[in-house]
A and B are shown apart, each in its own frame.
Chain A
Amino acid sequence: MAIDTAAVGTRSPDLTVEVGRGRLRLFARATGEHDPVYTDPAAARAEGHRDLPVPPTFLFCLEMDRDDPWAYLTGLGIDPRRILHGEQRFTYHAMAYAGDRLTLAAHISDVYTKKGGALDFLVRTVEVTRADGPVATLTTVLVVPGSRDAP
């Protein structure tokens, strides 16, 4: 079953999350980051940051705070265990820090098919903003294999 192109434009409910220092420290540990700028607020301030910086790819993790982060897939009949992450892009407008309240506005921006329907692609765009303006734009391309109609 190909993904219904009517899905394009579907928005998820806006999500506002507060980034915690503890979560950022755990992320640093999990990704082998030893630069104290990412774990020690004093070291961060010494480098001109107002708190622990949110690292470049952590913005992707903010969406995982939804009650069901995969609702936009299951709503289309897609099993989240079968999808593959095809591409990920970030465009940065401002640094974000621990303690920031960030709002995510997400929508499905494209769906298309390749290889005669053997692979479907779903593109999702997330705008991350703070009260004082835009923080980043995220673009995610997901690959949905084997969704071609059975012969």
Chain B
Amino acid sequence: MNGRVRAGDPLPPLRVPAISRTTLALYAGASGDYNPVHVDADAAREVGFEDVFAHGMLSMAYLGRLLTGWAPQRRVRSYGVRFTAMTPPHAEPVCTGTVSAVQDGAAHLDIAVTLADGTVTLRGTAVIALADE
């Protein structure tokens, strides 16, 4: 967040390296979410998925990095997303955001995560105070 913030301002995009199966295992351990559909292809197939898929919360963590890279975390008032598509292994997410409005001392952001083929996997909003309170 540099200088005056205006509606329409884009945030610098955050490009994430391809999500490997190792990344999924690391995130399972770090998050404590051991749901096997994210790390065990056999378990994923057993319940009808073709393969493992990334935790939605991993993408939400990447998108959180977009926010805290733009403004100090103490200014983040709210942050919410809808998960709109699954993220397969080897996907390369790109996190983007735009200021949709500035009101009551806060920037309102429209944010999203998009894969290389154009699939939008997360879409949401965040409210970030323009100054420390």
Contacts and interface: CB of A to CB of B under 8 A. Distances in A.
B7 interface: no
A30 B32 contact: no
A55 B47 contact: no
Classify chain A: how many residues form its interface, as a range: 35 or more
A60 interface: yes
A110 B58 CA distance: 25
Main secondary structure of the interface of A (DSSP, over half): mixed
Interface stretch (A7-15, A83-91, A101-109): A83-91
State the main secondary structure of chain B at its contact with A.
Answer: helix
Interface string B60-76: 11101101110011101
A61 B31 contact: yes
Interface residues of B, number: 41
A95 B73 CA distance: 8
Given A56-B73, A85-B56, A90 B78 contact: yes
Contacts of B83: 84-88
A30 B36 contact: no
A91 B29 CA distance: 25
29 contacts: A26-B26, A31-B30, A31-B58, A31-B62, A31-B65, A32-B16, A32-B65, A53-B73, A55-B64, A56-B67, A56-B73, A57-B57, A57-B64, A60-B60, A61-B30, A64-B34, A69-B32, A79-B47, A81-B35, A82-B47, A85-B56, A85-B83, A86-B82, A86-B83, A87-B83, A88-B56, A88-B60, A89-B81, A90-B78
Interface of A: 23, 26-27, 29-33, 35, 47, 53, 55-58, 60-61, 64-65, 69-70, 79-82, 84-92, 95, 139
Given A61-B33, A86-B83, 10 more contacts: A30-B31, A55-B68, A55-B73, A65-B32, A70-B35, A81-B35, A81-B37, A84-B86, A90-B78, A92-B76
